[in-house]
Amino acid sequence: MKNFAIVLLLSIFLSGCSIAAPQLDVNYSDGIYHIVIPQSKAKKKVKVYASPSLMTNEEIHKLSKAELTVNAGFFDPANGKTISYVVMDRQTAEDPMFNENLLANPVLRRNMPKILNRTEFRIVECDNKYSYEIVPHDTQPPFTCSVVEAVQGGPLILPNLQLEEEFFVVKDGDKVVRESCSVLHKVARTILGIKDGDLHILIITDENPMDMYEVQALCKKLGFERAMGLDGGSSTSMDYKDMYHVISVKGDGAGRKLKSFITVFK
């Protein structure tokens, strides 16, 4: 009876306590932040956000009260409109087909199929099971599944680097005649990878800038099964709690104003 009373008291005590959620795995080495987001957070804890007006990563981080906020898709700084598809809560929130600057440019217009099918990050729900995916935008989920959150970026890095296929590089023979988003230059980067079902985020800072071939080698070394780029260069941004604030090309320290973000909550 005495043992039963002790067990009862313990159960009453524990029922009134909450167990703190584990912190995200955030590591820093050689100018690169490496964050691991467990698959368990794919359900309701990882969200994509597109701002009606351009805002800094830090502003979104504070307004959303997220644990982690990083920059996401490409946008047009001239008009503040998206160049990347964004899905929020199962609805298409941003569509590059509504960006008149894309359609007005004859070179871009001729290559719209490549631009519109660039790689995207998704959270997919199948029978109440949530998982991360990195796939071309036109990829249809299985019949019983739905895309809950998504943001497009590019290029695909693993299993194959798709610079020409996604219109980041145009070649005339072996000569590069057009390059977008500094994919062949050493700049800061925001990279996503998937390994054993978990999402990995790499924030490659100005301290260790990389071109996409170097990024691919790093992703292979880390054992990623699939990997992709997001907007990078001066857009590269990360805020983690009130501990880390990372931007590229600091200037006045405010960071670049951006269109879309990936947020992670406790």
**Residue 184 in domain:** yes
For residue 46, the SS3 value is strand
Number of domain units in the chain: 1
- Give the model's pLDDT for residue 22: 56
- Least Cα distance to 123 among 89, 154, 96 occurs for 89
First to last CA, the chain: 40
Per-residue pLDDT tens, the chain, 266 aa: give them. 444 343 333 333 333 443 445 579 999 999 999 999 999 999 999 999 999 999 999 999 999 999 999 999 999 999 999 999 999 999 999 999 999 999 999 999 999 999 999 999 999 999 999 999 999 999 999 999 999 999 999 999 999 999 999 999 999 999 999 999 999 999 999 999 999 999 999 999 999 999 999 999 999 999 999 999 999 999 999 999 999 999 998 766 778 999 999 999 99
**Residue 218 in domain:** yes
**Residue 9 in domain:** no
**Residue 145 in domain:** yes
**Residue 25 in domain:** yes
Q: What is the residue whose two structure tokens read 């057009």?
A: 178
Question: Quick one: which H or E segment has residue 175?
Answer: strand 175-179
For residue 19, the SS3 value is coil
What span, in angstroms and rounded, lies between the C-alpha atoms of 218 and 224?
Answer: 9
**Residue 86 in domain:** yes
Task: Please return the burial class of 114, using the count of CB atoms within 10 Å of its CB with bins 0-12, 13-18 and 19+.
Answer: middle
At 102, the amino acid letter reads L
- Least Cα distance to 37 among 49, 28, 46, 47 occurs for 46
Q: Sheet harboring 91-94: ordered strands across?
A: 91-94, 86-88, 145-152, 119-126, 129-136
**Residue 1 in domain:** no
Q: Which two tokens stand for residue 173?
A: 């023979």
**Domain residue limits at 37:** 21-264
Q: How many CA atoms lie within 13 A of 191 on its CB side?
A: 32
Which positions ≥6 away from 55 have C-beta within 8 Å? 257, 258
φ, ψ dihedrals at 95, nearest 5°? -130, 120
